[in-house]
Structure 1
Amino acid sequence: MKYIKISIVILLVSFISIFAYKLTTNNSNNKISLTKEQMKEMLSYTIDGNSTSSMPTKGSEYKVKSITCKNGSILTWDNDNWLLEVEKLESEDLCNIDFTTGTGSYTVTVVPSIAGSLDSTSKTTTENGQVTFYTKLVIDSVSGCTNEISDGKVIVKNITSNTTCNINVSYMKLYDKLLADNPTRETRNTYNAVFTNNTTGTLFTATEKNVHNTTDTTVYYYAGNTTNNWVKFAGYYWRIIRTNADGSIRLLYSGISHDTTSGYINSTTYAFNSSYNNPMYVGYMYGTSGSLVNNRKNTTNSTIKDKIDTWYTQNMTSYTKYLSTTAVYCNDRTEQTSGTYNTGKTSFYYAPHARAYTNYAPTYDCTETSDAFSGSNTSAKLTYPIALMTSDEIMRAGGRAGANLTSPYAWYYLNSANGSITGSQWWWLLSPRYWNGTNASVFSVRDSSYPGYLDYDSVDCTHGVRPAVSLKSCVKTSGGDGSASAPYTIVETETGC
């Protein structure tokens, strides 16, 4: 049901009163628009049956006792918000609103299971009329009154006496909310160019399999210039990257304000690894030198993992219960066919390089046990459920290796002011690129001089760090629409679900 708010000016003897009316129709595709003159001609007011030229103000202890319309219009008065709602409007009608200090003759009072979850707790209507209560939560059941549940609304019809309804509501899972708020589904088949279309309301479909989910599982991701993937969690802003194979929701750190230009932790920069002169230093964790098998033993933290873990312990440990331990963060050290692993002067490339520069085929799959970092994988076990975004995720989001984003850009590059969320700082990704015989290199994203440019750098260089976390599939949302001004928020519980 659509709402239209208009202002009505009523001329009185000594002053002008301005009232805001909320108008609705019983057809969600139609809108009612009335002129001020029509409203003045249509409405009159009485107090306990006695005519008055002015409507009582909110807080004056008056309530609407009854509403009568000569030709069948159905009006509803929202006692909480002091607004007029129109359920049905006849083009030629005269309606009177009678106020009283008692209780309205045709008042519906609602008692929700979660306080404040409905648009009002009391509405008064015409005899045999109807009232509609609205909620953004899930309506589980209604008792105590004859009602109809439809699309976030409880409609009470044919009202002939005061009535009380008990409405049981519950919070929606964030996962379900994302699907509901983004009804369009699309699939991208080519990734050899940047993708910066306006895509708000669209989720893109892909699949993922990994060490925890070994068969292809449908996942959804945001791509292009979407504007409704903001989350406020643990006191920080985040952007939703995608859903994971375990149903969790992956988030990218985006700062302490949505319009920031320093959306990286601690407003400083770090090396991926302070040492660079061995291929093993592309690892988020690594073992010993000499072979890829040795590198993948994962006994030593990288410099960047230490920095992320320290930040986590200082800022997020109380939120661990909301985070998935089976979401996988892929530090894909698989060799590409170009070159063979060595620690000498011969170059070789890792698999993410081929996907970014050669065959343009990003993937969410991560089946090599020692590269699939998670809180539950003993071969690549995270200390805390936090890591980094991958080059494949950047490609799916709209980026391309060796290319600037074009206006209006892609979400991962932007703050709410449509500028670089990291200003003049590059930021690290989790994906290895190559060993050039001297330096180990990992993928990164460039700064405002090269908008959203998917690039790489030697691991000893210092760049911004934007961690990634994954909210568990059971986490529920307490509100928001995903916009920067109204980001999704979560319901805080003892268990995390």
Structure 2
Amino acid sequence: MKFAGYYWRIIRINGDGSIRIIYDGTSAHANGESSDDRQIGNTVYNNLRNDNAYVGYMYTSGQVHGLETDSTIKGVLDDWYTTNIANKGYGDKISKEAGFCGDREPSTSSSSSNGAGGTGTIATYYGGYIRLVNDRKEPILKCNSSADLYTVSGSNKGNKALTNPIGLITADEIGMSGAVWNINNYNYFLYTGNTVWSISPSYSEGWFNTRMFLIDSNGWLSSDYVDSIWGIRPVINIASDVTLSGTGTANDPYIVEGAE
């Protein structure tokens, strides 16, 4: 898809009919193609990893589902959205209803959810870990907590905490797209040859060990510390009432009319 002067890949159609897309560069790229153009840069997710709170796209120290402070990566994405979408007058093409699920459902068990943990340095396994790791492949598209569904104030659902309707892909969406924990995959549409952040917490095994899910440079679902430096691929939701042209191929991509 072509939107706002950039190319995007379609992740899925949301329940409200909006189109969920992930940034894919300034030119069209083939599946399996390695390219730094397919991300907007690199950053830490958060600057610190000595507290479970730092898995949040927004977070509050001492709370599992807090929303007081922006993560480092959220600040980068907000700036990018302002410059490349809002200031170009394309904000009306973006859904204000759809959100981004950073599932912080905690558990002190790695195999089943018990609702415990999630604060301080308590060893914690988050919802995505239980669904997608340890030989389990059970991705979902529903967000378990409205506090973890990041939406803007105009939405009828979620936490209504976002200033701008922009986020990251979830680990569940990565799994549904073809990635598997610790198994290489160079051929599916999310592979870029780079390691890229998701919005989904993975696990923490105590002090200085807070991790997020990633798309690894070999295409598999992985995780790393929140203060590691990895790639950023913005995710937005195109409103359901836009007009599209094109056939959806690399040579003739879908184009959001009025926002090419």
Name 1:468's counterpart in structure 2. 235
Distance 1:442 1:455 in 2: 8
Distance 1:390 1:344 in 2: 23
Structure 2 letter corresponding to 1:436: E
Name 1:412's counterpart in structure 2. 190
Which of 387, 390, 407 aligns to 2:170? It is: 390
Structure 2 vs 1, CA of residues 443 and 276 (structure 1 numbering), >3 Å: closer, same or farther? same
Distance 1:282 1:234 in 2: 30
Measured after TM superposition, the shift of residue 297 of structure 1 is 2.5
Measured after TM superposition, the shift of residue 342 of structure 1 is 5.5
Measured after TM superposition, the shift of residue 244 of structure 1 is 0.4
Distance 2:181 2:70 in 1: 27
Q: Deviations over 1:34-85 (max 9, x none)?
A: xxxxxxxxxxxxxxxxxxxxxxxxxxxxxxxxxxxxxxxxxxxxxxxxxxxx
Name 2:205's counterpart in structure 1. 436
Identity between Structure 1 and Structure 2 (%) = 37
Name 1:261's counterpart in structure 2. 35
Contact 1:371 1:380 in 2 (8 A): no
Distance 2:128 2:238 in 1: 26
Using CA pairs under 8 Å that are at least 6 residues apart, name the structure with larger relative contact order, 1 or 2. Answer: 2
Q: Deviations over 1:368-423 (max 9, x none)?
A: 111011122573421111100001001111111111116xx11111xxxxxxx3x4
Structure of higher CA gyration radius? 1
Structure 2 letter corresponding to 1:275: L
Measured after TM superposition, the shift of residue 257 of structure 1 is 1.1
Name 2:113's counterpart in structure 1. none
Structure 2 vs 1, CA of residues 387 and 431 (structure 1 numbering), >3 Å: closer, same or farther? same
Contact 1:298 1:380 in 2 (8 A): no
Which of 251, 259, 277 aligns to 2:21? It is: 251
Distance 2:185 2:214 in 1: 14
Measured after TM superposition, the shift of residue 285 of structure 1 is 0.3
Name 1:275's counterpart in structure 2. 48
- Equivalences for residues 335-350 of structure 1 within 5 A: 335-336=106-107, 338=109, 340-341=116-117, 343=119, 346-350=122-126
1:286 aligns with 2:59: yes
Name 1:199's counterpart in structure 2. none
Distance 1:436 1:367 in 2: 22
Measured after TM superposition, the shift of residue 488 of structure 1 is 0.4
Distance 1:372 1:366 in 2: 6
Which of 236, 241, 253 aligns to 1:487? It is: 253
Structure 1 letter corresponding to 2:81: Y
- Secondary structure of residue in 2 paired with 1:304: helix
Distance 1:381 1:342 in 2: 20
Contact 1:237 1:253 in 2 (8 A): yes
Say what the alpha-carbon RMSD is for the aligned residues.
Answer: 1.8
Structure 2 vs 1, CA of residues 249 and 299 (structure 1 numbering), >3 Å: closer, same or farther? same
Distance 2:199 2:118 in 1: 21
- Secondary structure of residue in 2 paired with 1:469: strand
Contact 1:264 1:464 in 2 (8 A): no
1:453 aligns with 2:226: no
Higher percent of residues as strand = 1
Number of aligned positions between the proteins: 243
Contact 1:354 1:360 in 2 (8 A): no
Q: Give me the TM-score of the superposition, normalised by structure 1.
A: 0.47
- Equivalences for residues 213-252 of structure 1 within 5 A: 231-252=1-22
Moved over 3 A (4+): 263-266, 342-346
Structure 1 letter corresponding to 2:196: W
